[in-house]
């Protein structure tokens, strides 16, 4: 083997994977595979003495490419050396005391306070230059914007989104392809938003893990300083004082705790508690010598690959899923694992009957670790598994993905129609996904307008299994009731990529609730609207430039009576920000109350922050987290009755 050539191959491959993960929120290889290749590169560099300038062993973090302001860090933020062996942690600590804590998997942030006020927040960036995200940081769910300490204070921590919040956010996204892949990528995208209101809605939290600088001497203990940060109102990382004798016990504690831990974590961090001693050790080119990271020794099981299931979705993306003989991992039975994309299928050289090793990434998400036999016999389907029409492979940023190019693929249409009939779109009750699938398969529905002619198929529908005269009549009544529709509901119901409920409302409002103006908007018209970046504007314009889409839209409009939303005569909520929580009595649901607020010029957000003016909760004395947060920030809590009386 040409070792120099292999070093170049590994550097190129690992850099591509890092860029995809950190900058583009994509994944082209499992973490297990990345770590294995990284270790191979380290070994080759030591053996040959060759270290390339762009090697990931001497570079950390993502390149700063966004439009956020940039700032150079006072000192480089280096990553930690790592191990998977508890014995190495014991050897590292020797006879010293050290702090063992979670290694959180989010976005590292440096906060600066002056005179008790949050002055600045900067991301890690590439370790030397970060992005200034101060406005966004002020919307983090648990961050103190003011603290008792009045001197200068610089601290470091991790911005994270909990698994529970991640799942709740994904529940609101009906398109499977648009769902976020993991909390880390969602958090990174949320913190680096140009619009801080988006950050506020994502429930980002900040967990402090290091004090960097202060005007006063706060002692020589890492744990002592973290305890002091607790007193200042920060949420600090969970930790245990550790030494050679209790190291295994403490690692075991965290290994058990991660099964139910709500924060994303990809391991542990061990740092000397004696700060002066740790600093006296200095650094290598990439690693500080005062600490070391511990990566979980993944429980790996061997099994046999049965087949790759290719799952089509509404946008045409066809996802590969590995199905294998069931195995026990971390206390659960596992038989399936996402392979993410075509690139990973090829990288693993998968084939039916191959002996594969599987594990749970961070002890949670099933992944393929390695393919022992590498037969490479899996063929990427040339036709869609649903409609049988040709597929195509797209290559974006070096990641290959498979797509069905048939615009009339039932898989696309079923998901498309399912979105179209939801409450925030045309609100047609009785047309579940299962029912729509039956109607599509029977040839009753080919496009949106066909839903308004289901009466042509009465005889067939009433004789279908599970249907009858009454269920047919209920569907037709609901279809007829949906003919009166607001512009934003229609626009959202089309399922255009990146156009959710709020964006649809925003667009319609920007173009005077006129769908003709909306459909004829250019990219230049759209990008000047708040929240409509080019990545949203381009596919939106392309959707209506497509003749089939445009003609189908015309036929749909022929079936509808477009009614402009009622606008309150007085914009008496103009500029006010509300958060809604708890059960409602006067309004049918939160969407109706949200609409009431927006009609009067206000905005309704998902989480309480310093920018919130009022929290709406009929149970003012509730001990809910939103009530507690509102009281901490001095935000008034009001009932529905007060909303109606103050802003009629």
Parallel/antiparallel/unpaired status of strands 82-83 and 291-294: parallel
Residue 517 annotated among the catalytic residues of the structure = no
What single string gives the DSSP state of each residue in 410-461? HHHHHHHHHHHTSTTTT--TT--HHHHHHHHHTTS-SSGGGGGGGGGGHHHH
The span from the CA of 131 to the CA of 109, in Å, is: 9
Alpha carbons 307 and 320: distance in angstroms, whole number: 10
Distance CA 601, CA 338 (A): 44
- For residue 210 the two structure tokens come to 């290091």
Contacts of 179 (CB under 8 A, 6+ apart): 170, 173
Q: Which residues contact 623 (CB under 8 A, 6 or more apart)?
A: none
Distance of CA 267 to the CA centre of its chain: 20
Q: Two tokens at 93?
A: 């600590």
Place of tokens 């297990």: 32
Q: Can you read off the two tokens belonging to residue 322?
A: 């590995």
Can you tell me the distance from the alpha carbon of 415 to that of 418, in angstroms, rounded to the nearest whole number? 5
For residue 108, the cross-strand partners are 158
* Residue 569 neighbours by CB distance under 10 Å: 8
DSSP labels for 587-599? SSSHHHHHHHHHH
**Cβ atoms of 336 and 362 closer than 8 Å:** no
- The beta strands (E) that lie in 182-312 are given as 205-214, 239-242, 265-272, 291-294, 301-312
Structure-derived torsion over alpha carbons of residues 70, 74, 78, 80, reported in degrees to the nearest 10: -120
Out of 103, 416, 438, 626, the active site residue is 103
By the 8 A CB rule, do 173 and 10 touch? no
Q: Report the C-alpha gap between 327 and 299 in whole angstroms.
A: 11
CA separation for the pair 141, 148 (Å, rounded): 19
Structure tokens at 54: 């762009």
Measured CA to CA, the distance from residue 146 to residue 155 in angstroms comes to 14
Among all residues, which ones are annotated catalytic?
103
């Amino acid at each position: 083997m040409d070792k120099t050539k292999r070093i170049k191959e590994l550097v190129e491959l690992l850099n591509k994977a890092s860029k995809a993960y950190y900058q583009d929120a994509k994944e082209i290889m499992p973490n297990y595979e990345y770590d294995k290749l990284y270790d191979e590169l380290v070994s080759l560099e030591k053996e040959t003495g060759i270290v390339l300038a762009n090697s990931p062993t001497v570079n950390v973090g993502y390149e700063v490419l966004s439009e956020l302001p940039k700032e150079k860090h006072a000192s480089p933020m280096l990553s930690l050396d790592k191990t998977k062996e508890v014995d190495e942690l014991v050897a590292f600590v020797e006879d010293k005391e050290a702090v063992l804590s979670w290694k959180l998997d989010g976005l590292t942030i440096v906060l600066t306070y002056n005179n008790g006020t949050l002055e600045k927040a900067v991301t890690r960036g590439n370790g030397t230059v970060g992005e200034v995200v101060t406005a966004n940081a002020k919307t983090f769910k648990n961050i103190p914007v003011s603290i008792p300490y009045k001197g200068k204070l610089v601290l470091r921590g991790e911005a994270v989104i909990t698994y529970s919040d991640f799942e709740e956010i994904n529940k609101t996204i009906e398109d499977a392809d648009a769902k976020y892949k993991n909390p880390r990528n969602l958090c990174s995208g949320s913190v680096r938003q140009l619009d801080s209101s988006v950050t506020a809605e994502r429930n980002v939290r900040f967990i402090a893990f290091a004090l960097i600088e202060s005007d006063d001497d706060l002692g020589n203990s890492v744990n002592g300083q973290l305890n002091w940060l607790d007193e200042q109102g920060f949420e600090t990382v969970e930790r245990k004082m550790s030494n050679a004798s209790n190291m295994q016990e403490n690692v075991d504690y965290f290994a058990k705790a991660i099964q139910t831990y709500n924060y994303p974590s990809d391991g542990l961090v061990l740092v000397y508690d004696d700060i002066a001693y740790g600093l006296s050790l200095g650094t290598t080119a990439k690693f500080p010598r005062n600490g070391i990271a511990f990566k979980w020794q993944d429980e790996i099981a061997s099994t046999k690959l049965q087949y790759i299931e290719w799952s089509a979705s509404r946008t045409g993306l066809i996802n590969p899923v590995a199905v294998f003989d069931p195995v026990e991992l971390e206390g659960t039975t596992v038989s399936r694992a996402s392979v993410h994309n075509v690139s990973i299928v090829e990288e693993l050289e998968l084939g039916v009957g191959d002996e594969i090793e599987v594990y749970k990434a961070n002890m949670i998400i099933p992944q393929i670790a390695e393919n022992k036999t590498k037969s490479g016999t899996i063929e990427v389907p040339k036709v869609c598994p649903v409609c049988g029409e040709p597929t195509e492979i797209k290559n974006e940023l070096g990641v290959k993905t498979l797509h069905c190019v048939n615009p009339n693929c039932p898989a696309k249409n079923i998901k498309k129609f399912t979105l179209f009939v939801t409450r925030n779109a045309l609100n047609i009750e009785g047309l579940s996904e299962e029912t729509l699938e039956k109607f599509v398969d029977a040839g009753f529905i080919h496009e949106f307008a066909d839903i308004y002619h289901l009466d042509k198929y009465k005889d067939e529908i009433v004789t279908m299994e599970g249907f009858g005269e009454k269920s047919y009549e209920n569907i037709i009544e609901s279809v007829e009731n949906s003919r009166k529709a607001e512009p934003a509901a229609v626009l959202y119901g089309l399922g255009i990529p990146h156009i959710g409920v709020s964006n649809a409302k925003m667009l319609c409002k920007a173009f005077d609730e006129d769908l003709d103006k909306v459909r004829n908007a250019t990219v230049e018209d759209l990008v000047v609207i708040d929240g409509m970046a080019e990545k949203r504007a381009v596919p939106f314009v392309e959707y209506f430039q497509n003749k089939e889409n445009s003609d189908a839209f015309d036929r749909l409009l022929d079936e509808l009576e477009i009614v402009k939303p009622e606008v309150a005569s007085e914009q008496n909520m103009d500029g006010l920000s509300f958060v809604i929580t708890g059960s409602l009595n006067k309004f049918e649901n939160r969407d109706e109350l949200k609409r009431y607020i927006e009609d009067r010029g206000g905005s309704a957000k998902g989480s309480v922050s310093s920018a919130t003016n009022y929290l709406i909760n009929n149970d003012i004395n509730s001990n809910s987290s939103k009530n507690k947060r509102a009281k901490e920030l001095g935000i008034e809590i009001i009932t529905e009755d007060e909303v109606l009386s103050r802003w009629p």
